[in-house]
Amino acid sequence: MPTDAPQPTIVLIRPQMGENVGAAARAMWNFGLDRMRIVAPRDGWPNPAAVAMASGAGRILDEAEVSTDVADGIADRTYVYATTARPRELTKPVFSPEAAMKDAAARIARGEKVAVMFGPERSGMENADIAHANAIITVPVNPEFPSLNLAQCVLLVGYEWRRAVGEVVDVVVQGQTVEPADQRDIEALARHYEDRLDDAGFFYPDHKADSMKVNLRNLWSRMPMTRADVQMLHGMLRQLLRGKT
């Protein structure tokens, strides 16, 4: 069964190859999307090639809804985006993928039923298809090579959906020991190095010693160190000085 998570429905318009439908299903599931609709697939449905390509996302294909035309495929949706790389003469709002998925998230939160349409691989959707949509999503691609593979386009929209619903952390520190060093740790490290460097005559000449110590303290404070980093730096200095005193 589909997940209960509120999400847009992904609608593939006249897909031409089962492999691309399977790859699109895989891209959807990478980002937690599992509601696929397929409109007039060229090679019929179900398609064994799609299942082989889905690689773990076969459930999405099993539960995909199949329609004969665009109007039927989006009949119960309240707001529909059409993805296209080519400029269109139709007057509609044109969103970037990021802005579109933020808009979609807001609409879904209000109870609207949203769909995103993707056209056939060779030429994309026709204007007659896009006329059914409320808005257009255009990817800022290289104008000299604007064509995106179907699964690539689905993946891009899926990623932006994931970002829009707050499930992407921009920066995270990972590892076995990631507890950040506190100011007490940094102070002890700074004193350790300062004292040993002082013993070694590093702060020379005397009239520059204070500014050199300030610069050294500033270096430590700029470094985003973990407690493990601090312990390692203490150990490195002790090892270097072993047998020297």
170 falls within a domain: no
139 and 231, same structural domain?
no
96 and 191, same structural domain?
no
201 and 144, same structural domain?
no
What is the structure's pLDDT at 13? 97
131 falls within a domain: yes
Prediction pTM value? 0.75
69 falls within a domain: yes
60 and 115, same structural domain?
yes
226 and 159, same structural domain?
no
198 and 150, same structural domain?
no
CB 124 within 8 A of CB 150: no
CB 108 within 8 A of CB 73: no
Q: What's the number of domains the chain is made of?
A: 2
90 and 196, same structural domain?
no
Instruction: Report residue 121 CA to chain centroid gap.
Output: 23
Residue 9: count other Cβ atoms within 10 Å of its Cβ. Answer: 21
CA distances to 4, 11, 131, 154, 208 from 97, in Å: 23, 16, 19, 10, 55
Secondary structure class of 136 (helix, strand, coil): strand
Q: What's the pLDDT band for 85 if we cut at 50, 70, 90?
A: confident
One-letter-per-residue 3-state SS of 69-84? CHHHHCCCCCEEEEEC
Q: What's the pLDDT band for 1 if we cut at 50, 70, 90?
A: low
84 and 190, same structural domain?
no
Domain with 27, as residue range(s), is 9-164
CATH number at residue 60: 3.40.1280.10
